[in-house]
Amino acid sequence: MGKKKKRVSSKVWCYYCDREFDDEKILVQHQKAKHFKCHVCHKKLSTAGGMAIHVLQVHKESVTKVPNAKPGRESTDIEIYGMQGIPPDILAAHYGEEEDDVPSKAAKVDIPPTQLVGGMIPPPLGTGYPPRPTLPTMPPMYNPAVPVPPNAWMVPPRPQPWFSQPPAVSVPPAAPYTQQPLFPVQNVRPPLPATAPALQTQITPPGLPTSAPVPVSQPLFPVVGNNHTTTQSSTFSAPPLPSSVPSVTSVMSANVPVDTHLSSNSSVTSSYQAIGIPGGAASNSHSYASGPNTGGPSIGPPPVIANKAPATQPATNEVYLVWDDEAMSMEERRMSLPKYQVHDESSQVSHTTSLIDGVAFTSNQMSIGFMLPVFRFSCLHIVSYLKRYILYKFLILF
Amino acid sequence: MASAVPATGRELSNPPSDGITNLRFSNHSDHLLVSSWDKSVRLYDASANVLRGEFMHAGPVLDCCFHDDSSGFSVAADNTVRRLVFSSNKEDILGRHDAPVRCVEYSYAAGQLITGSWDKTLKCWDPRGASGQERTLVGTYPQPERVYSLSLVGHRLVVATAGRHVNIYDLRNMSQPEQRRESSLKYQTRCVRCYPNGTGYALSSVEGRVAMEFFDLSEASQAKKYAFKCHRKSEAGRDIVYPVNAIAFHPIYGTFATGGCDGYVNVWDGNNKKRLYQYSKYPTSVAALSFSRDGRLLAVASSYTFEEGPKSQEQDAIFVRSVNEIEVKPKPKVYPNPPA
């Protein structure tokens, strides 16, 4: 018990790979480097959704799975930032059991949050009422199980309009998970009551705000009752009313930081989209190509400068042109070989004259060519690649 | 027929004995016309893999093109512009330039033959007339530099020369260029090809880049132009950049293939700025590319192009490969799901 208590208070872990870290800042860095990094340009994004949008907008590729994630946790729709945004059931499973979750088990656990939500309704009504309705509704429980999926579908759209007012862009996908990040925050605050029933009690508090917007509470109730009885009979027998009140207060207080985070996310997303458009004009390159990416996407001037400097310097030193003679084409050079000289003796005198002129012309070109390559070679060393790079990018944009 | 087709495509029998300068498919059949440094122009039946004709010249042949299925044209380093009659294996000289002639195009819209030469001129010929310089030459138009590449679409002619000049002409008014431009790439121009839809042209350089340009000078159209890198590789800490020798547009989908001195052929979707496919490496530099009239075949000339000076050469070869639709068809765009 004591050991578990310490883990909860001092350790944070990655939702995608279950790796533990001492500090949430380090956890965020890990997520950016391992799970939110663009596989094309290796840029680190702040969230999975942002990374998916970046890859789609800039590189025109679709990403449906978060890289390096465990099976069942690859969805890019869940907005995770450090320990925030982890679904409550996953969080509970992680602390309850040290073993890894089985995918099928995780799928089953996804249903309980809705049921738990419904389960919270009986306690405020009274102690006597909950047990009585549960018993007579036992038989019809199997029938309501069928409409459970549509109810789950209805839950996400309901909260969206209510929460959509403050942030506009990322609200729809974030709304269904707004409730979930509330739980880990609450969990961290009351670490003192380390008893198992206390933790389980805290799981139910986030259900209250979701129950209010959900109009169809009756079908949820019987299903929840069934699972509630099966999984936690002790909680059912002792529903603590006074604990629900302080949990609501903590929920409301937690709303503020979450909204701030969401707004910052939306600004990042919009900046991605803005940059993505000019990035679309970027040069495409061979699979083996390397060197500066003229259209590399970036956010804000500082990253651009940081990215450009190291990329251009090695390119300047190491670019090798297979054909670097600007004065002559490959065919002209080849034509100057004796093997390819034209010897048309059968032509008339006038033609012979023109041929001689042609040869002379070729010789002139050749002599000029001998001098210019040296000059060009010197120029290539003197002229800064960075200048050409900037000029080139300028040409592309206009 | 029964034998398995290698990854590079079927190799044609009786290839030229020296470097290949260009190859073209006919507009009416699967015939392939090939010009070579061995002073010959050869006519192949690409489907049957049969050599149908061979025309010897006094000097290396730098370009060739079809007139119709019974005749074609060639230009050579002996300064001549020739007409080749395939059925009788005869040829006659339409006229001459003052220096080797680098490229030739036949305009079906204008019924004229256009040739570009290293004597810094562009000439138009009327091939219907009898032999003789005075009777067939329609006009001579000076260029700022030696002509390196030509391309035609409709009535538009694009001329790329040394010094990175690009002149755009309307064939109905050749007295002066419609536009005088400079290449947006910083290195020597290698090849220019117009878009099949007539809205612009693609221009490649010796520095492993291709620029996508548009004819319309309005700000909205010019904003669409861009350039991209290709035919490069990293090796032992060096970026080796290869010339892009050839560009060939697919006649149906408007995508295009590029071939470079690195021996690779890439297929690109210019509209979506994507690389669609990369074929396996060819034995040596890819000197020329050509799609058949229906886009089902792609001819690849694998021939050393002297980019690294004289050296003991590998065998020059012509490969004809079947083109799968997936390789050349643009992929539909994936739009993000609209917010709920």
| pLDDT at A279 (0 to 100) | 31
Q: Is B178 on the interface with A (CB under 8 A)?
A: no
- The per-residue pLDDT for range B164-195, each reduced to its tens digit, is 999 999 999 999 999 999 999 999 999 999 99
| pLDDT at B310 (0 to 100) | 81
Instruction: Give the C-alpha separation, A364 to A10, whole Å.
Output: 80
Q: Is B140 on the interface with A (CB under 8 A)?
A: no
For residue A327, the chain B residues in CB contact (below 8 A) are 162
Cβ–Cβ gap A388/B186 under 8 Å: yes
| pLDDT at A184 (0 to 100) | 33
| pLDDT at A397 (0 to 100) | 53
Is A167's pLDDT higher than 90?
no
Closest-approach residue (CA) in chain A for B218: A398
Which of A100-109, A239-248, A376-385 has the highest mean predicted lDDT (pLDDT)?
A376-385
- The per-residue pLDDT for range B197-256, each reduced to its tens digit, is 999 999 999 999 999 999 999 999 999 999 999 999 887 778 899 999 999 999 999 999
Q: A residues 263-282 near B, CB within 8 Å?
A: 280-282
Is B121 strand, coil or helix?
Answer: strand
CA nearest to B60, candidates B84, B72, B77 = B77
The answer to whether the beta carbons of residues A321 and B241 sit under 8 Å apart is yes
Instruction: Give the C-alpha separation, B125 to B127, whole Å.
Output: 6
Which phi and psi (to 5°) does residue A174 adopt?
-80, -25
Q: Is B182 on the interface with A (CB under 8 A)?
A: no
Cβ–Cβ gap A329/B100 under 8 Å: no
Q: Which stretches of B95-197 are DSSP H helices?
A: 133-136
The answer to whether the beta carbons of residues A12 and A21 sit under 8 Å apart is yes
Mean of the per-residue pLDDT values for chain A? 50
- The per-residue pLDDT for range A269-319, each reduced to its tens digit, is 333 333 333 333 333 333 333 333 333 332 323 323 333 333 333 344 478
- The per-residue pLDDT for range B124-134, each reduced to its tens digit, is 999 886 555 55
| pLDDT at B147 (0 to 100) | 96
For residue B242, the chain A residues in CB contact (below 8 A) are 322
Cβ–Cβ gap B306/A344 under 8 Å: no
In chain B, the domains with their CATH numbers are 76-307+315-327 (2.130.10.10)
The residue extents of the domains of chain A are 12-101
Q: Is A99 on the interface with B (CB under 8 A)?
A: no
- The per-residue pLDDT for range B296-310, each reduced to its tens digit, is 999 999 999 888 888
Q: Is B37 on the interface with A (CB under 8 A)?
A: yes
Instruction: Give the C-alpha separation, B215 to B203, whole Å.
Output: 13
User: Which secondary structure element, helix H or strand E, spans residue A134, and what is its range?
Assistant: helix A131-137
Cβ–Cβ gap A318/B237 under 8 Å: yes
- The per-residue pLDDT for range A341-398, each reduced to its tens digit, is 886 544 433 333 334 333 433 333 343 434 444 444 444 445 445 555 555 555 555 4
Q: Is A334 on the interface with B (CB under 8 A)?
A: yes
Q: Is A318 on the interface with B (CB under 8 A)?
A: yes
Cβ–Cβ gap B98/A331 under 8 Å: no
Quick one: CA torsion of A6, A12, A14, A19, rounded to 10 degrees? -50
- Among B61, B240, B306, B316, the strongest candidate for a mutation testing the A interface, having the largest count of A CBs within 10 A, is B306
